[in-house]
A and B are shown apart, each in its own frame.
Chain A
Amino acid sequence: MSTARPSMFQRSRSANPKEQLIHVLLLCCALVSILTTLGIVVVLLRSAVYNPGPKTAFFEEVSLGEFLTDTRWKPVERSQLSPEADQGHFGIWPLLSGTLMVAVIASLVSVPTGLGAAIYMSEYAGPRERSFLKPVLEILAGIPTVVYGFFALHFITPMILQPVLKHVFGIEIGLFNVASAGIVVGIMVTPMIASLSEDVLRSVPRSLREAGYALGSTRFDVSMRVVVPAALSGILAAFLLAFSRAIGETMAVTIAGGHKVLFSVNPFEEMRTMTGYMVHQSFGDNSADSIQNKSIYAIGLALFVITLSINIASQWILRKFREVYQ
């Protein structure tokens, strides 16, 4: 009997089909996001760089050199018939300048406030305050961005920017402007910076803080001279992630930033951003094969490249400059 019976602990290949099914299902879940990313990259490249079918891709009609150097963006079909003045222009700079302006203004707002909030939560607040503050900040990060857009349009511009600029500097500005979009995006990414930075500040070992206090430091000395420098790489990575988030932000800047395609560094101008252009163009009634439609993919690819490089840079900084504590 004992010879006929398989060992009690022997693994049988078909023993647990349920376990195998779960294994496969979970693997599929993991693959979804990877495959989606790949799919997006393929679609972007097909419409922007090279189309194997009968249609042409964006960069087969417009040179990369023109895209990167021309400072005019006028997406109309090029034809032999129209005069030179009416020819289309496809330089990314007007849209890129709007996007970078928003991201820079957003950083000016969010870096000091986000870092300040992080230092407060990690160095100043008691455990009870912290357990209240952090979830509240994270809720702030969950507000739909369209709400922020209208907040900028109906509060920041008319209630703050316009009166302040008019009475203090005597400048009149329009309802749509890059400054309000940048400020509101800054408010939007502040919780992200605060939360990520607080995590890295808290990971600085307690012994380092005690050493700082033992040398006659105030709380502020310990925060700024010991804890922040020790966590600098993580803080920088948080800044970069927030910057890339600000670059990709769409809804709020489309609402508050305005519609004018303009190459400028004046924050009080109405300027369209890259994402704003994509939204606007996709609502148009251009045919799928038109240059306007293809330009969406070119801009999309440019955005993808920018945010991807920033994210890679932040990962690299994290790994390269992290202080290792025992």
Chain B
Amino acid sequence: MVTFIETLRSPIERKAMATSPTTVLRVPPAVAGVDRDMDMSQHPAAITARGMNFYYGENQVLFDVNLTVPERSVTALIGPSGCGKSTFLRTLNRMNDLIEGTRCTGEVLIQGQNIMEPAVDVVLLRKHVGMVFQKSTPFPKSIFDNVAYGPRVAGERNRAILADLVESCLQKAALWEEVKDRLGESAMALSGGQQQRLCIARALATNPQILLMDEPASALDPASTSRIEDLIGELCANYTIVIVTHNMQQASRVSHQTAFFFEGNLVEVGPTTQIFTSPSQKKTEDYITGRFG
């Protein structure tokens, strides 16, 4: 079996390892703060999806998905384009409500409440479950006003409280040092990587427990990507993170748990080390070794 990790090695290295009787499979180093062998069963669940089906009109795109996301950990959702991983992510804060003609059955429990029920206040839900998008989406406002947006919408008017909050969120997003002298300037003037960290700071400002990230680094250069990955490692001490990524090295670096989606089905989920070194499903193995997708 050729695992994903082996594909990262040079052919000579691979040959040497193949001949060695005691081949030890190692995943690339994880970012600080991520323990990829963590025993998930010991952690309380932040999100529990049960029997989830999702439809765009008549077209079913998710089939009976069951997934538990432990608190204060990173779960990576991987799979080829169109496999339903983004759709799944966007049901967790009911973002798909904005798209006409979508329908969802099954249940998603967050803090014991089924968020799929019509009685759920999606505005409150989304304050609790923040989201960062693939394309950075700063509002055409100042850096300060971008971060203060969420608290202001929630009714916070006190300038001093807002200033403290903006500073702490920018610090958590590792952006404070770069922008502290120009908070009044337009956020549109920041670089792509800075804009994405600003969006993370902005999401943190509503004080969420859960952070959803939809390919947050796919539009960024390698240096900015690595900053975002380090940031994910820091944030998972306090937040539950679910990240969709196309980059399997990224999934292996930043996540405790990896879930592989294929054609609308959740094929396999497990500790990241296990998924990348000894997946139980043939499909998973084929995908992470690059045989398709």
Contacts and interface: CB of A to CB of B under 8 A. Distances in A.
Interface of A: 126-127, 205, 207-218, 221, 225-226, 229-230, 323, 326
26 contacts: A205-B137, A210-B98, A210-B133, A211-B133, A211-B199, A212-B149, A213-B126, A214-B95, A214-B126, A214-B130, A214-B131, A215-B127, A215-B130, A215-B150, A215-B202, A215-B203, A215-B206, A216-B124, A216-B126, A216-B127, A216-B153, A217-B123, A218-B123, A218-B153, A225-B149, A230-B140
A210 B140 contact: no
B154 A216 contact: yes
A209 B130 CA distance: 14
B153 A217 contact: yes
Residue from the set A209, A215, A225 with the largest chain B CB neighbour count within 10 Å: A215
Contacts of A326: 135
B154 to A, nearest CB: 7
Interface in B147-172: 149-150, 152-154
A217 B130 CA distance: 12
B150 A230 contact: no
A101 B101 CA distance: 49
Given A216-B206, A229-B140, 4 more contacts: A211-B137, A214-B93, A216-B150, A226-B139
A209 B110 CA distance: 24
Q: How large is the interface on B (under 10, 10 to 19, 20 to 34, 35 or more residues)?
A: 20 to 34
A202 to B, nearest CB: 15
B137 A208 contact: yes
Interface in B34-59: none
Given A216-B154, A217-B153, A211 B98 contact: no
Contacts of A214: 93, 95, 126, 130-131, 133, 203
Interface in B101-129: 123-124, 126-127
A218 to B, nearest CB: 6
Contact of A215 (B140, B141, B153, B188): B153
Interface in B166-202: 188, 199, 202
Given A208-B139, A216-B126, A221 B153 contact: yes
A225 B203 CA distance: 16
B100 interface: yes
Given A213-B95, A216-B123, A221-B153, A207 B139 contact: no
A207 B153 contact: no
Contact of B141 (A216, A217, A229): A229
A230 B154 CA distance: 20
B139 A229 contact: yes
A229 B139 CA distance: 9
Contacts of A218: 123, 153
Contact of B100 (A127, A212, A213, A225): A127
A326 B192 CA distance: 12
A213 B133 contact: no
Contacts of A209: 98
Contact of B95 (A205, A210, A323): A210
A213 B150 CA distance: 10
Contact of B139 (A126, A213, A230): A230
Contacts of B98: 209-210, 213
Contacts of A230: 139-140
Contact of B149 (A207, A210, A215): A215
A211 B202 CA distance: 10
A236 to B, nearest CB: 14
Contacts of B100: 126-127
Contacts of A216: 123-124, 126-127, 150, 153-154, 206
Contacts of B126: 213-216
Contacts of B127: 215-216
Contacts of B205: 215
Contacts of B153: 215-218, 221, 225
Residue from the set A205, A213, A214 with the largest chain B CB neighbour count within 10 Å: A214
Contact of A207 (B137, B154, B206): B137
B192 to A, nearest CB: 10
A300 B139 CA distance: 44
Contacts of B131: 214
B204 to A, nearest CB: 10
A131 to B, nearest CB: 14
B102 to A, nearest CB: 14
B154 A323 contact: no
Residue from the set A126, A127, A213, A323 with the largest chain B CB neighbour count within 10 Å: A213
